[in-house]
A and B are shown apart, each in its own frame.
Chain A
Amino acid sequence: MSSDLESLYQDIILDHAKRRVGQGPLEPSSDASSVAASSATGESHQLNPICGDEITLRVWLAESRIERVVWQGAGCAISMASASVLTELVSGGTRDEMMEQLDRFRELMRSRGTIVPDEEILGDAAAFAGVSRFPARVKCAMLAWVALEEAVLAANS
């Protein structure tokens, strides 16, 4: 199999596409014990009309810290893995750290393969570097991140 294909579908991505960290019911009551009563919450629904991939993501913030992310979605391996990796990466971090990660990820996705990702900042999300060489798939990888950004804005408003 071509190395291009394997650079796109890294093992980390295929693994996350199946594990789907954070996928679950969007209602806060289902796991209320892990969420502080004082937390703010926001939700976002994103759809890629080209392929029908969609995600609904909810985030809980407490004092600028991302307490919890849950999402429900249907889509390709890239979009589902991206949601899973993102959940692992940003949970427990601060809002500012998350914004930095989002900026770096977006920059990576727009790079057409010209950027070497910073694994210190992006963690497992660095595995998506290969996606940037497939412009048709960048939107798949970005879907959950766009939902996260919108959900955080909604939580703060």
Chain B
Amino acid sequence: MPILSAPSHPLSNDEVSRIRNDFPLLSSEMNGRPLIYLDSGATSQNPVSVLEAEQEYYEQRNAAVHRGAHTLAVEATDAYEAARTTVASFIGASPEEIVFTSNATEALNLVAYSLSNASLGLGGADARPYALGPGDSIVVTEMEHHANLIPWQELAARTGASLRFIPVDDDGALRLEEAASVIDGSTRLLAFTHASNVLGTINPVEELVSLARGVGALTVLDACQSVPHLPVDVAALDVDFMAFSGHKMLGPTGIGALYGKSKHLHAMPPFLTGGSMITTVTMERAEYLPPPARFEAGTQRISQAVALGSAVNYLVETGMDRIEEWERLLGERLVVGLEQIDGVRVLGPRAGQPRIGLAAFDVDGVHSHDVGQFLDSRGIAVRVGHHCAQPLHRRLGLTASTRASTYLYNTTDEVDAFLAAVADVRSFFGASA
């Protein structure tokens, strides 16, 4: 595999303009205006190289992987496993610690259902330490995306464990002083987000992992909003599991990944079962392959994995340090601009405080659906609603908000056009004083 390297100088609007040429959809028009895509937190756009990688796979290598002796099957397997290696090295993991899933939601459910199966006694003696039951607790945070909340609600319901949460304060920051009492000797698992998809906050992973480690609890990190936007070294974070999605990092839909420490994946029972994950099968029972194959039942998302590998290469060539810094600038510009608009309340950290390149906000007197519709008429695509985080919105006294989220292909001019449009929202709807 070629060693990819990125330039060291910071990204600029000029360079971002060149990057944009790699993304066909970004040059389109929306409602008669040039598209300003500020919804990458929901799904990102794809560079030509990613689209071509998927097509090239189908044109030149398509076959079922890990079976068949023919040359195509070997080439398809090589391409699939090369993608695994690429994704693993991107986050500082070993390839056998990466399980491909259809998305981050499935990755999180995989952990939950594997623990659930262990709790039923499946997986033998190795899996016993992963069993949960009454008296145990699972801890999440109040800012979680539903994908990192509901699987744990369900796991608690299935095992009799209780579910607790670390609350957030009025600004949406985790109340860390309470975390130390919420996480106690009964806690078996702590699941939390690295970067909030609503607030843009970057959570203190080290502190939370240390609290969990202190009571012997497993840690699960939702990295959907961090892996695409910041350099992430999972070994340094020292979490037990980490989930992220391909379509939020320039890859196609239908592919995501679960990172799991090797010792856990080796000991845990499978979630989905069937072909490609077994060694010996009788009519009564089956023996399972070691990970990651144990967790990849059935024909896999081969072309999507290959395309995700290509997306990772694009990010590496651009430079994750540079992307992080560029989006920090865009995020700060968003917040500073929004805070200056009458009747706009930004959720999460104030200007000057760390955040990823996204900002969710409330416009006084105008519902987020109407804000989004108004912005759409100017070609600006944003997310509206609860962003799959109803409890967090309720805590902040809202049912919905509007969110602008950036990526490496957004310019400061786009942020400014967005801010100018938001400034016109209240007068259009007659909400200005």
Distance from A45 Cβ to chain B, minimum over Cβ atoms (Å): 15
Asked if B58 lies at the interface with its beta carbon under 8 angstroms from chain A, I say: no
Whether A52 contacts B428 by the Cβ 8 Å rule is no
Chain A: which residue is nearest B399 at the CB level? A52
Contact with A along B186-227 (1 / 0, CB 8 A): 000000000000000000000000000000000000000000
Asked if B419 lies at the interface with its beta carbon under 8 angstroms from chain A, I say: no
Contact with A along B365-390 (1 / 0, CB 8 A): 01111100110011000001110001
Whether B385 contacts A50 by the Cβ 8 Å rule is yes
Whether A51 contacts B373 by the Cβ 8 Å rule is no
Asked if A74 lies at the interface with its beta carbon under 8 angstroms from chain B, I say: yes
Asked if A53 lies at the interface with its beta carbon under 8 angstroms from chain B, I say: yes
Residues of A within 8 A of B124 (CB): none
With contacts A1-B377, A5-B377 taken as known, whether A76 is within 8 angstroms of B430 at the C-beta atoms is: no
Pick the residue among B32, B368, B374 that contacts A51 (CB under 8 A): B368
Residues of A within 8 A of B377 (CB): 1-2, 4-5
Q: Which of A42-56 contact B (CB under 8 A)?
A: 50-53
Q: Which of B332-391 contact A (CB under 8 A)?
A: 366-370, 373-374, 377-378, 384-386, 390
Pick the residue among B31, B370, B378, B400 that contacts A52 (CB under 8 A): B400
Q: How many of B's residues come within 8 Å of A, CB to CB? A: 21
Asked if A140 lies at the interface with its beta carbon under 8 angstroms from chain B, I say: yes
Residues of B within 8 A of A18 (CB): 430
Chain B: which residue is nearest A80 at the CB level? B367
Whether A4 contacts B31 by the Cβ 8 Å rule is yes
A14-B431 Cα distance, complex, nearest whole Å: 10
Contact with B along A1-30 (1 / 0, CB 8 A): 110110011000010011000000000000
Chain A: which residue is nearest B385 at the CB level? A51
Distance from A121 Cβ to chain B, minimum over Cβ atoms (Å): 27
Whether B373 contacts A8 by the Cβ 8 Å rule is yes
Asked if A106 lies at the interface with its beta carbon under 8 angstroms from chain B, I say: no
Whether A76 contacts B385 by the Cβ 8 Å rule is no
Contact with B along A136-155 (1 / 0, CB 8 A): 01001000000000000000
Residues of A within 8 A of B366 (CB): 77
A75-B390 Cα distance, complex, nearest whole Å: 15
Whether A51 contacts B369 by the Cβ 8 Å rule is yes
Contact with B along A32-63 (1 / 0, CB 8 A): 00000000000000000011110000000000
Pick the residue among B367, B386, B399 that contacts A77 (CB under 8 A): B367
Whether A2 contacts B369 by the Cβ 8 Å rule is no
Whether B390 contacts A51 by the Cβ 8 Å rule is no
Whether A76 contacts B369 by the Cβ 8 Å rule is yes
Residues of B within 8 A of A76 (CB): 367-370
With contacts A2-B31, A14-B429, A51-B385 taken as known, whether A77 is within 8 angstroms of B370 at the C-beta atoms is: yes
Chain B: which residue is nearest A8 at the CB level? B373
Chain A: which residue is nearest B390 at the CB level? A52
Whether A51 contacts B31 by the Cβ 8 Å rule is no
Whether A137 contacts B430 by the Cβ 8 Å rule is no
A8-B377 Cα distance, complex, nearest whole Å: 11
Residues of B within 8 A of A9 (CB): 370, 373, 428-429
A18-B374 Cα distance, complex, nearest whole Å: 17
With contacts A8-B373, A50-B385, A52-B390 taken as known, whether A1 is within 8 angstroms of B428 at the C-beta atoms is: yes
Whether B390 contacts A134 by the Cβ 8 Å rule is no
Pick the residue among B369, B390, B428 that contacts A53 (CB under 8 A): B369
Distance from B127 Cβ to chain A, minimum over Cβ atoms (Å): 36
Distance from B387 Cβ to chain A, minimum over Cβ atoms (Å): 11
Distance from B386 Cβ to chain A, minimum over Cβ atoms (Å): 6
Contact with A along B392-416 (1 / 0, CB 8 A): 0100000110000000000000000
With contacts A8-B373, A77-B429 taken as known, whether A2 is within 8 angstroms of B367 at the C-beta atoms is: no
Chain B: which residue is nearest A77 at the CB level? B370
A78-B386 Cα distance, complex, nearest whole Å: 18
Whether A140 contacts B374 by the Cβ 8 Å rule is no
- For A9, A17, A52, A137, which residue has the most chain B Cβ atoms within 10 angstroms? A52
A140-B370 Cα distance, complex, nearest whole Å: 11
Residues of B within 8 A of A51 (CB): 367-369, 384-386, 399-400
- For A4, A76, A134, which residue has the most chain B Cβ atoms within 10 angstroms? A76
A8-B32 Cα distance, complex, nearest whole Å: 16
Give chain B's interface residues, CB within 8 Å of chain A: 31-32, 366-370, 373-374, 377-378, 384-386, 390, 393, 399-400, 428-430
Closest 3 CB pairs of A and B: A76-B367, A76-B369, A52-B399
Instruction: Show 6 A/B contacts (Cβ-Cβ < 8 Å), sorted by A.
Output: A5-B374, A5-B377, A52-B393, A75-B369, A77-B366, A137-B369
Q: Given contacts A134-B373, A140-B369, could you give 11 more A-B pairs where the C-beta distance is less than 8 Å?
A: A4-B377, A9-B370, A17-B429, A51-B369, A51-B384, A52-B393, A52-B400, A53-B367, A53-B399, A77-B429, A78-B370
